[in-house]
Every structure is written in structure tokens, then in C-alpha cells.
Amino acid sequence: MLGYWEKYLEVDLTSRTVTERKLDLSVARKYLGGRGLGAYLYLQYCPDPDVEPLGPENVVIIATGPLTGVPATGSGRLSATTRSPLSRTIMDTNVGGMFGAFLKFSGHDAIVIKGKSESPVGLKVMEDSCELFDAGDAWGMDTEETVEFYKKKFSNPLSVLSIGKGGENKVLYSGVIADGGRNFGRGGLGAVWGSKNLKAIVTRGRKKPEIFDKSRFEEVKYELVKVIKAHPITSKVLPSLGTEGLMKVIDFYGILPTRNFQQGQFEGVDKVKGETLMETIFDRKSACWGCMIACGRMTNTGKEKGEGPEYETTWAMGPNLGIDDLKIIAEAGFHCNRHGLDSVSTGSTIAWAMEATERGVYDFGIRFGEAEKLVQYIDMIASKEGVGELLALGTKRLSERFGGTEFAMHVKGLELPAYDPRGSKGMGVVYTTSNRGACHLRGGYSVGFEELGSPRKIDRFAVAGKGTHVARSQDVGTFYDSAVVCRFNSYAVGMDIWARLLNAVSNTNYTAADLEHIGERVHNLERLINLKLGFSKKDDSLPSRLTREVLKEGPAADQDLPLEEMLQEYYEYRGWTTEGVPTDQKIDQLDLRSDVPWL
């Protein structure tokens, strides 16, 4: 079946060996690739998934998909799966840029990393050689320095995944950075790499994926491009403003979390919106491999320059901290990338610390609006110096140690992103049922249909129907993460187009329903793993601030959040029990029994 090289690498860091393994095409057809293949392979290597996230028994799966590296927009992404040290759930994360396509061009579908090296190590994945190398000379470098170092050592063209100080020091929300600027961000993948003494993976290749029916592929690709050019989000908002184009929209609806979710609108929003970024610090656009949307932004503050900030980073370092200085916000994002820190969890943890300080819970030395301290605090977190050693724990562990759990904004240990569910009620279900903890993307991004009207507008304050809409959105999103293609395409591109494109590439006969079914299978597999790890319905919950307090001002004022009613609809639609457990009938319908060792 085309779309796959039918092989992956098994890397044992303990024995310093790299072995080529055959990829079973029946598994590829069942799980596609990316996130789906990652979840499947995780159980093959950890049949009892209850391993210590920062121990040598934990494994990391890095996987491409059948559409990675084909000449269709949004096909340059890459997925990673492991057990999160932050949430302790199964987690996946994916990243844009060049690495996904370059790995595919090297002739490999995936990499499985296990064990622990005694000293810093790197992995080289090329067409003609795959080997481990000593990385002691790069240990201590930031991610930008690491990229330049290895491009000189191994020569361009080259794509580099690496960790910075955050990962080396095992900050629980550290990420892995692609080419110095794009983040495998959420859940602590960088800490897992750091625990294994894995500094970097470098790759390149020239083996372009074969396409079964080139004529049909070009026909479907033409249709794909046409709908992307016709949709206002993918043709105007994202190309002109990047993800920062969301800032004014989310504030308009009163769901822009401000000062640790105490308000839903930010008085300084005009100073941090996308239009202001373009007028003040914008340098040039950037795009992932093969992408026509080009939503990325390179910026220059006059003092520093780099990739971003994206909407989530601007929110996390801006409104959520009461900060409206766009240059400082951008520089905070640069430092997160260089150190390899998840900007969402970093900003949210600092927001909790600011509120804890102001409420007298514990004095962390920083208060809302103190922009001049922000970059220093990020540097301290990455180095685990001073108060940074505490902040490196994340909001869940901090609040359990010092108090203030009622304003610790996380689900299952993963900090909430930039949308207040009190004014977008589907997001309450999104955060609680995302398998990796609070996540707008893995949870189903109901903002898409509640505020942005894509694919159609739904009453954001309604309760009925939200569980069903979120579940279906999750299944579609899981397909995107497994294919692997960029989710921004979903604003414009229907599932039927993806089915026809995939069939043209791989000589298959998928329907849109088949692809959603695969997404449902993967989501349920992750749910079963989390249940095995000890998570249950009690963990499908929200911070009490969101369920017991209402917003007092703005367009979403006085809205309650009846989570239980929406959750029960979600469970029923999923074919789960009222306690959130997939039934035997659902397990058999999804053909999961043979893939889950304890069933």
C-alpha cells in the first residue's frame, strides 16, 4: 500500500542500537499513522502502560502518516506519543515545520525510542545511514544554537528536533523544538527526552513518497486548493494575520481568559491583537513544508527576533498575565522556544503564581502586570533556579503543595489554553474529555462551530447537542493527527476530499465515514489506556472556578456551565457507560479487543 515505506526504526538508547523493523500494513490501514500508529505502537512496547514517565521503561513514538510529504498543503506535520510526565496520561503532540516531511523523505515511517543513554546522545536518520552519535558537545545549548551546530556538523539541508535547558532539566512541561522555532509543545515530551539523555534527532532525505494515481491526485488537490482559497479563514485571516487573528474575535465574545480566568475580556487587547503585531514587530511570514496558508510569523522586537508569537503564546504571556507589552510577550515566546518550554503551561503556571501571590497563598515574587519580570522568570523555570524550581512543577502540583486548587486552571494536570468555556460551553466538554488533559485541539475545538461558525454556527450558550458535536469533532481531529495533516485545513476542507486524496495516494477505498471511524478507534484506544492508568470519570472535571463562579462582566456574563449534563450526552453518543467506560459492544465495533492486552 503506497503512502508508507513499510518500515520504522527501533532505537534502544540503553544498548546504543538502531534496528530497522517492518511496519505491518494491516496496522497502518487500521490506524493510518501519526497519532493512531503512535497509540498502537505504544501498547506494543508498553503492554502495561503504567510506567514511570521519566523512567527508561517509557517509550517515545515519532510517526509520520500516509499523507506526510505528499505535495498537498498542510502535509508537513509530525506526531509524537508517550506517557506525559505532567498529566501522567497517554499523550500525543504534533509539530509543523520541515521535520515531518524530511523524515518521510529519509525512507522511514516512524521511530520508536526506548531505554536511556548513560550520556547525552543524538540520533541521525538519513537515507543511507541511521545511527546514534555522542551529543555531549551540544548539551547545554539552546535549541537555536543546537540547530546551527548540527547544520554545520552534518551540512544542509537538514531538519533538527532538539531540547533546550527545559528538557535537559526535566521541567515537567518542557517540549521538543523543531528547527529552533516550532514546538512539540504540550505534555512534557522534552522532559521525557531529557530523562533519556536524548538531545536531538537530525534528518534529511530525497525519497519522495510515491502516489498511486497521479492524475486523480491532481484532480482532488485542485479541489482542495480551491476550497482553501474560497474560505475566509484559510484565505484571508490566517494568511494575513496568522493565528493572532483570533485575539480580537475571542475577546469580542468575552471568552478571552484574563488574569488567570478571572475575567473574559482584556482591556489591553488592542495592544496585543494580530493587527498590532503586523504593524509593529512583524518581520516576515513563515510556512510549514508545502503549505499554501503560511500562518507563521517571524517577528523582531529590536532586541530579539524569532518565530511567533502565535495566538496561544500571546494569550498565555499577555492577557492571562495582565500584560499588554507585545514586545515583551514576543521575547517571552522566543525564550520558551530556545529553552524548549510549552508556552501555554509556562504562562498558565506563572498566572497561578501571580494570583497565589496576590491572595497571600504563597509569595512567588511576581504579580499580575509585572511585565519586566516575565522573561527572567521563564529563564529561571528552564534552569530550575530560585523560584523557578517550584514553578517547573506546573499548576496542579503547586496548588496541591501550597493551596489555591480552586484557581489552578488545569485538567488532569495539563493547563487550560486560551478559551473560557463559560462563554463557549462546548469547550467544557472539550477540556474534560481530551485524552491528554485540557486541550482545545485534542478535545474537539468547539470554538470552531460555536464562535467561528465552521463548518456551521451553533448557539454557544446552548447545552443540548454539545456532547455529540464535540465527540464528532474529536474523531475528525484525530484523523487529522493520524494522517498527519494540519488542522487549519479543516475550516475549509471536508472529509470527503481527504478520503479521495488518500485513496489516490495509497490505492485504498476509504470513505469519509471510514476516516471518522478510524479517528473514533484511536480516541477510544487512548481512553482505554487512560482508564488502565487509573483515570476515571472523576477526572473528567474542570477547575472549580469555571463551574462555581460566573463571569461578572462582558458578553458571557452570568453564564453557568452545566458540565454533567453535557458529559452524559457525550458518553451516550460515544457508546460508553455513564461512568465514561467504553462498553464491550463499542470495543468490538471498533475492533480494539485484539490490540489491548488487558481486555
Q: How far apart are CA 334 and CA 299, in angstroms?
A: 10
Of residues 405, 393, 389, 243, the one with CA closest to residue 316 = 243
DSSP-based helix, strand, coil % in the chain, nearest 5: 45, 15, 40
Q: How far apart are CA 232 and CA 223, in angstroms?
A: 16
7-203 has which CATH code?
Answer: 3.60.9.10
Boundaries of every domain in the chain: 7-203, 234-420
User: How many Cα atoms within 13 Å fall on the side-chain side of residue 38?
Assistant: 31
Q: How confident is the model at residue 94 (pLDDT cuts 50, 70, 90)?
A: very high
User: DSSP class of residue 433?
Assistant: H
Of residues 239, 170, 214, the one with CA closest to residue 394 = 170
Q: Is the pLDDT of residue 511 over 90?
A: yes
User: DSSP class of residue 19?
Assistant: E
End-to-end Cα separation, the chain, in angstroms: 30
Contact 237, 247 (CB under 8 A): no
Q: How far apart are CA 186 and CA 541, in angstroms?
A: 19
* CA 330 and chain centroid, separation: 20
* 3-state secondary structure string across 380-423: HHHHCCCCHHHHCCCHHHHHHHHCCHHHCCEECCEECCCCCCCC
**What does 32-49 look like in DSSP terms, one character per residue?**
-SHHHHHHHHHHHH-SS-
DSSP run (H or E) holding 305: strand 305-307
Helices H / strands E in the chain, number of each = 26, 17
Q: Is the pLDDT of residue 121 over 80?
A: yes
Contact 420, 257 (CB under 8 A): yes
Q: Is the pLDDT of residue 126 over 80?
A: yes
Q: Is the pLDDT of residue 508 over 80?
A: yes
* E strand segments, 64-109: 78-83, 90-95
* pLDDT tens-place string over residues 294-347: 889 999 999 999 999 999 999 999 999 999 999 999 999 999 999 999 999 999
Which of the listed CATH numbers 3.30.420.40, 1.20.1730.10, 1.10.569.10, 3.60.20.10 matches domain 234-420? Answer: 1.10.569.10
Q: How confident is the model at residue 128 (pLDDT cuts 50, 70, 90)?
A: confident
Q: How confident is the model at residue 455 (pLDDT cuts 50, 70, 90)?
A: confident
Domains 7-203 and 234-420 share a fold: no
Q: How far apart are CA 396 and CA 305, in angstroms?
A: 32
Q: How far apart are CA 425 and CA 547, in angstroms?
A: 11
User: DSSP class of residue 438?
Assistant: S
* pLDDT tens-place string over residues 189-229: 999 999 999 999 999 999 999 999 999 999 999 999 999 99
* pLDDT tens-place string over residues 400-419: 999 999 999 999 999 999 99
Contact 31, 482 (CB under 8 A): yes
Burial of 217 (0-12, 13-18, 19+ CB in 10 A): buried
Predicted local distance difference test score (pLDDT) of residue 456: 83
Of residues 420, 412, 413, 346, the one with CA closest to residue 378 = 346
C-alpha cell at 589: 465495533
User: DSSP class of residue 15?
Assistant: T
